[in-house]
A and B are shown apart, each in its own frame.
Chain A
Amino acid sequence: MMAGRFVVSSASVTDLQRMAELARRLAGADGRVDAVALAGDAGVLAPEDGTLADTAGGLAGLADTLLVYEGAGEYLRGDMWAAALVDAVGRDGECVLVADAPAAREAVARTAVSCRASVASMCEDLQRAEGGGFVARRSIYGGVADGLIALVSTPAVCLFAAGKFEGAPSGESVPVEQRTLGAPAYEVTHVGDEPVVRTVDLAGASVVVSVGRGFVKREDLDLVDPLVSALGAELGCSRPIAEDFKWLPKERLVGLTGESVTAELYLALGISGQVQHLTGVKGARVVAAVNNDAKAPITRNADYVVVGDLYKVVPELVNALRSRS
């Protein structure tokens, strides 16, 4: 039972690699890791960002085979994805690992129901449990705690948060095995897609750099442009900037009367950190600030505070970020 068979699948190559690496670790040398890809009318749908050859190469040393399911249709659909996973799990699949993406949750849920599996969502890590089954680690209740979820019945279906693969594949491309999906169980007519150009998405941004009244002139905001692009951040601001000076549109306002962020990193530049502003920052994982006043309320509400003049610190930050990469 220990050396089971793992099925991994993902909408992007790096996620697939990450899932495969984890599966490899759990499966051990004797175990088996099957990666699932879906291909449709317009080529490979999952992972969508690579050709089959890329994918097979990327899985070298991580997976044993790449199962390619043809006939997945026009775009990646959860029900088709689930059909592929159910087929790949077969009778002896022990565990399914999928990284989060649109349609991934449907795929996972349908697979779990079809296979009478146990399921865990938002997983960050997975271990074998003593006495069989798996234990997934995930953040619970909005980050209040880290929880361990026991997956009792087999197979265990785990949905992981999307992320990056830090390791590297080694060796030869994995062999590819072609399979074909049946007709979809449900008829869904695709009427059309409207590409989304997201202008400002403070709530969803993973890094937010916010500017406050520490900036003296409108032109000075140019100072943060290089920082924003170096961090791949979304620009936010405090109320005076959006409403009193109107230097930035109101959709960039963070706080009680503006947006609430959920970023991994929130960087407050020249913001004192009044409660009305901080309300919108609660959801950030790491809060950093640059402020010349070591007694400003932000210093008690941030993880890291550079006490200094933002006009000097911001350019240095850009340098430090650039030299790193």
Chain B
Amino acid sequence: MTGWTVDIEYTREYLPFLPHTATLVVMYACVVVVAVLFVWGFWRRYRAYTKGGRSLWQAVNGKVLPWRPRLWRVVRDVILQTKVRERHLPAVMHMAIFYGMVLLFIGTCVVLFYEDVLVWFGDFEFGGLPYVVFESVLDVAALALIIGVVIALWRRLVMRPAYLSPKRSTMLVLWGLLFMGVSGLGLEAYRIAAQPSEWAQAAFVGWTLSHLLEGWAGQEGTPVAVYQTLWWLHAGGAFALIVGAAWTGFAHIFVLPANVAAHDPERAKTKLRTPFNLIAAMESEEDVELVAGTATTGDIAPPDRLAADACVACGRCHDECPAVASGRQLSPRDLVQEIQATLGTNLGSAPSDRPAAEFEDAAWSCTNCYACEQVCPARIRHVDLVLDFRRALVDQNRLDEQKLGVLQALDRNMNPYKLPSHERAAWITELPYADEVIYGAAELIEPPEYLYWIGCAAAYDERTAQVARATMDLLRAAGVHFITLGPAEPCCGEPAKRLGEEGRFQMIAMQAIEMIKETGAAKIVTHCPHGLNVFLHEYPALGFSIPAVHHAELLADLVSAGRLKLGVGIGGKVVYHEPCNLARAGHPATAALALLDGSTVLPEKAGVHTFCCGGGGGNSFYQVEQEERRISALRYEQVVATGADRLAVSCPFCLTMLRDAAAGHGDGALQVMDVAEVLHARLDEAPTTTASAAVIGARVNE
């Protein structure tokens, strides 16, 4: 090894076989032109993002801080390619191209720096060991680039997965990159063949190829002309790619990192945006212009334009989307691509303004499951785009009777089921411990630790009511001090929010917040992940924060603290379906799994990649006409494939949807239960329902 450290006298000639000065003049003339085109291209982009005079500053919500998580995310997503690495073949492909290009770019810059900059400051020679290492690294890089591009082309031309529908510009860029890699190695091989040197082996690829040219490559004649042509084509290709990086979808190499940096790292995945604050607006002296939604694509705000422009049409979202799988009129990829096209940022697309109505089917087909956002390497927030279209459609009164009916019922009856509010949670008043758990009826010596939120589903649906009963039994058995709002409980507002009626959501929320405050409860527990999301993420935006947990989390804590005496349960093999609103919002399955007995399995799509039941985003309350298979049926097949005997869920919508899907399978159908019900069946002691029934019975009899 020491041999390497002795002075190595190897270097290579700068611009061999080319007229030195003329080449430099033409090349730098081109550089100037390219630089101008490059800046112009991005200036156009910037103008497209900030159309309508709004600032891109919104992209970071007006705050660069916290800069650390933002920076870290860029490092991870871009430099470490974390997001990209989630899929195998595309990961190899993209990393090979990415790292290959980065190295080659750096290599080229280093050479230019040495030869054209440092040369003015003295006799610096790029040689010796660094140069040898440099040559080998560049060859590895070139090889990687070629391999990556070949994989990319192979996937697009031969494998052709449904989620990839390559654009012309993408193909052009790929062919261009391939040419760059191959021509670069070719030039190197020629040089080595024409100017043999003992150190040339460092450039091992070029050196290997050079054997092919031995004897032909020389210092003059046709071979040199060929070399010169190829060199100029190579240089031209590089310039074209740089210009392309400003004028085509290849711009993603800059726009995507920009969007990753703009992405608010503190906003929870399931948190929707709050476009205005009704109370603040009503109290404000000034006449604030309150707008909801994007009536046309022209209304899309700068940060979302940047996001749309960052889309690389990789199709991962398309591949994961349950709406796509069910044959609905929605592909998140196409949605983003269509919005991107209206920006007119890429060569060949003119800016256009498309009305929200054109995105109507897509907007209502979305279940707000976040599967797309989970996998998107550009960290695009598709649900934001969908919701803004919904808001505009609501504002334009473009709702069908079903959706109108839901919004109307929320207004009139305080529930999305169109059932009278006086029938709400009637069952709770018949519980043996009713007057211990209903706020107002119960004597509260001290404020309760928890408010147990029943939710509209349990309030009106008999089956879901059983979940609520099981949960309350368990909480009582563990001695948790809790209260419910009983029949007086309002809707939490989630359906209004997801259907795009923000104003109604806020009106409902204000009412709910007042009632929650009144109970004096320190925390909220609910079996509904949708309610949970609203409490955790949406109410704070309206100025009210309260700790909230999912019932599975609280019950798991109680189990591990030994506060529940458990025996054997039903047993058998249980498959657990994770709700999108938990799994993708940072609530892992561990809590729910801790409640299950027997052997537990997870379906193929689990964890952050769980597959939707079809009930989110308001879909539980309206029908999507154009679909081939129901989303719930698709998911049901996935869970059945695990060979489990029972299906455990932890969300009222999942319960309804998957029971509905199961019912189509007659006697062989899986029994669908909430995790709390599974745990309830494990309770060793007689459930509190009966225990305290005696106590209450005695009191009543007095």
User: Residues on A close to B: CB < 8 A?
Assistant: 213, 240, 243-244, 256-257, 274-275, 279, 297
Contacts and interface: CB of A to CB of B under 8 A. Distances in A.
Given A240-B664, A256-B621, A279 B418 contact: yes
Given A243-B623, A244-B630, 16 more contacts: A213-B663, A240-B663, A244-B664, A256-B402, A256-B417, A256-B621, A257-B402, A257-B622, A257-B623, A274-B461, A275-B419, A275-B460, A275-B461, A275-B462, A279-B418, A297-B462
A254 to B, nearest CB: 13
Interface in B411-460: 417-419, 460
B664 A279 contact: no
Contacts of A240: 663-664
Nearest to A253: B623
B419 A279 contact: yes
Interface of B: 402, 417-419, 460-462, 621-623, 630, 663-664
Contacts of B402: 256-257
Contacts of B664: 240, 244
Contacts of A256: 402, 417-418, 621
Nearest to B457: A275
23 contacts: A213-B663, A240-B663, A240-B664, A243-B623, A244-B630, A244-B664, A256-B402, A256-B417, A256-B418, A256-B621, A257-B402, A257-B622, A257-B623, A274-B461, A275-B417, A275-B419, A275-B460, A275-B461, A275-B462, A279-B417, A279-B418, A279-B419, A297-B462
B127 to A, nearest CB: 76
Counting chain B CB atoms within 10 Å of each CB, the highest count among A244, A256, A279 belongs to A256
Contacts, number: 23
A213 B659 CA distance: 14
A275 B417 CA distance: 9
Nearest to A280: B418
A297 B630 CA distance: 24
A297 B466 CA distance: 13
A17 B623 CA distance: 48
Contacts of B418: 256, 279
A257 B621 CA distance: 8
A24 to B, nearest CB: 42
A275 B460 CA distance: 8
A243 B661 CA distance: 12
A169 B621 CA distance: 54
Contacts of B419: 275, 279
Contacts of B460: 275
A256 B405 CA distance: 9
B421 to A, nearest CB: 14
A244 B417 CA distance: 22
A257 B630 CA distance: 15
A274 B620 CA distance: 14
B467 to A, nearest CB: 14
Contacts of B461: 274-275
Nearest to A297: B462
A258 to B, nearest CB: 9
A244 B462 CA distance: 23
Counting chain B CB atoms within 10 Å of each CB, the highest count among A213, A240, A275 belongs to A275
Contacts of B663: 213, 240
Nearest to A257: B623
Nearest to A272: B663
Contacts of A275: 417, 419, 460-462
Contacts of A213: 663
Contacts of A257: 402, 622-623
Contacts of A244: 630, 664
A294 to B, nearest CB: 15
Nearest to A275: B461
Contacts of A243: 623
Nearest to A244: B664
Contacts of B623: 243, 257
Nearest to B460: A275
Nearest to A213: B663
A275 B462 CA distance: 8
Contacts of A297: 462
Nearest to A279: B418
A297 B663 CA distance: 15
B589 to A, nearest CB: 28
A82 to B, nearest CB: 36
